[in-house]
Every structure is written in structure tokens, then in C-alpha cells.
Amino acid sequence: QKEVEQNSGPLSVPEGAIASLNCTYSDRGSQSFFWYRQYSGKSPELIMFIYSNGDKEDGRFTAQLNKASQYVSLLIRDSQPSDSATYLCAVTGPNSGYALNFGKGTSLLVTP
């Protein structure tokens, strides 16, 4: 089983701060990387995807990918209490049959 690892948290940040969420993966053949947000009792909601090394920005969210280090991260700027949720890192590629291989998620708490 190819591994996707995330710190379970909880990660607590004050409102307005930057939240940094990290993910490592073991399969070097991985091609696509996704961040999903999951509120308690709800299904995962796609935030961002990234395929190429470097940074990708979308509003307050920035995804960072480093394939050499097998590391992907998500930065949330100007964190809001509504960002409090579990963030799931997911990885896919030919070795997984293109099914998403999920980490167990990091719980983020943004305090007012």
C-alpha cells in the first residue's frame, strides 16, 4: 500500500494567521495531488489540485509541490474560523489505478 502521511493535528491557528498543512507520499510515480476539505459529517470538498513542481495559488490558498522530496503542502492565508475542518491530502497516479490515495487528514482549528 502506497502511503500518504499527514499530521493528524489538531493544528490551531489564530484568525488572520497563515495555516500550513503538510503531506508526504511514498510513491514516486504519483502524478496528481489534491487537497480536499471535509467538515464534520460532510463529504470531502475539493480545494485545489497541483501537478507540477512549484507553487499554485488560488485566492487565499496556495499549494506547493516538491516531487524530489515527495512533499506537498497547503497554505491558507488570512485564516478564518470557517476554515476549521479536516484537510485531506490525496495522491494519484498510474500505480494506484488513478484512484485517490488519501492521507488520514489534518484537523485545523482557527480560533477567533
Work out how close the CB of 48 gets to other proteins at its nearest, in angstroms, rounded to a whole number: 10
Closest CA to 4 of 87, 78, 62, 81: 87
Q: Is 29 left (phi over 0), alpha (psi -120 to 50) or beta?
A: alpha
Neighbours of 73 (CB within 10 A): 19
Interface residue with other proteins, options 7, 22, 32, 70 (CB under 8 A):
32
How many whole angstroms separate alpha carbon 74 and alpha carbon 64? Answer: 6
Work out how close the CB of 92 gets to other proteins at its nearest, in angstroms, rounded to a whole number: 5
Site string for other proteins, 47-76 (x = CB under 8 A): --x-x-------------------------
Helix ranges restricted to H, the chain: none
The yes or no reply on residue 42 touching other proteins (CB under 8 A) is yes
Q: Which residues bind other proteins (CB under 8 A)?
A: 31-32, 34, 36, 42-46, 49, 51, 88, 90, 92-94, 96-105
